Amino acid sequence: MDETRGGMHGTIKLFSGTGCPELAQEISEQLKVPLSPRSIVQFANENIFVKLGESIRGQDVFVIQTMASPVSHNILELLILLDTIKRASPDRVTAVIPYFAYARSDKKDQPRVPITARLMADIIGIAGADRYMTLDLHADQIQGFFSIPGDALTCFSILSDYFRDKDLKKAVVVAADLGFAKKARNLAAELDLPLAFVEKRRISSDTEALTLVGEVAGHDVIIVDDEVDTGGTAINAVGILREHGARDIYMCFAHAVFSPPAVERLKALPVREFVTTNSISLPPERHLPNLTQLSVAGLLANVIDRVHTGRSVGEIFRRYQRYE
């Protein structure tokens, strides 16, 4: 897109936090809109200071910042960026959050606990965002926590296209968690493959696989989940699938959180390939030799352009809506 092209909200201005600079640069290149200059400094007392390097008065501003590790720093940096930008009199501000932290804290499942996902949604709006954009929320109903409009997107098309190109002839899609069964079912339908489920129960912070529902013996397997955190679910899923005679095992997930000791655990698993996205920037020490990261930059750039010009975002996913 032409960076000089204006819209009903002025021209596009892109700002990036420090959470996912490579992804922000990719989005910038896709849109042919340069990242706007800004200064982000952390003082000796750990206070964060932000200053914009150009005027954004009357413009359509998109702030790209993930909420991955270091989580608290990246969240606070996003909020300060939003406040800084809002005070510079833009026409509209959209928070582009590839990975939304605290999404699993979406309900009171114990006495006297918070609903932190709702808190995150509230403070993003209070800090200055007029809209939000994010990828693969842990639960779709989190959209209802926001009092501002937005786009809760999915990487489904990117991941399904990748596995379609692999053309696995004798394979089964497996939901690593019954809570993720719907999206696993959608992937199975898109690839025209059968579906199986790993039933598990969570004990404290660990998980224990109980049984497998479906047939995987003699088949390649694509395990589907929304994110991999410490790798506990992966260990259990791979173990029970091997016990039931699965051949090559692939793991497919949107967000590579990889909290310790995930990298060590995943390296030890007999998995042919881990397939995820670059919604979270991974330092070299958290990469795996058999890890494939697919870029979400094209998807986010397309949505940013459509939001800016007032065109339908749903059209991008129309091909896949038959599975909802």
Write out the catalytic residue numbers: 200
Residue 164 and residue 108: Cα distance in Å, rounded? 39
**Residue whose C-alpha is closest to residue 191's, from 161, 215, 221, 158:** 161
Residue 81 and residue 132: Cα distance in Å, rounded? 14
Residue 247 and residue 169: Cα distance in Å, rounded? 13
In the DSSP assignment, the letter for residue 114 is: -
| Greatest extent of the chain over all pairs of C-alpha atoms, in Å | 61
Residue 196 and residue 173: Cα distance in Å, rounded? 6
User: In the beta sheet, which residues pair with residue 197?
Assistant: 175, 213
**Residue whose C-alpha is closest to residue 194's, from 172, 164, 162, 165:** 172
Q: Torsion angle of alpha carbons 206, 210, 212, 217, nearest 10°?
A: 90
Residue 62: phi, psi to the nearest 5?
Answer: -120, 125
Residue 292 and residue 277: Cα distance in Å, rounded? 8
**Residue whose C-alpha is closest to residue 304's, from 54, 33, 90:** 33
**Residue whose C-alpha is closest to residue 36's, from 2, 59, 8, 9:** 59
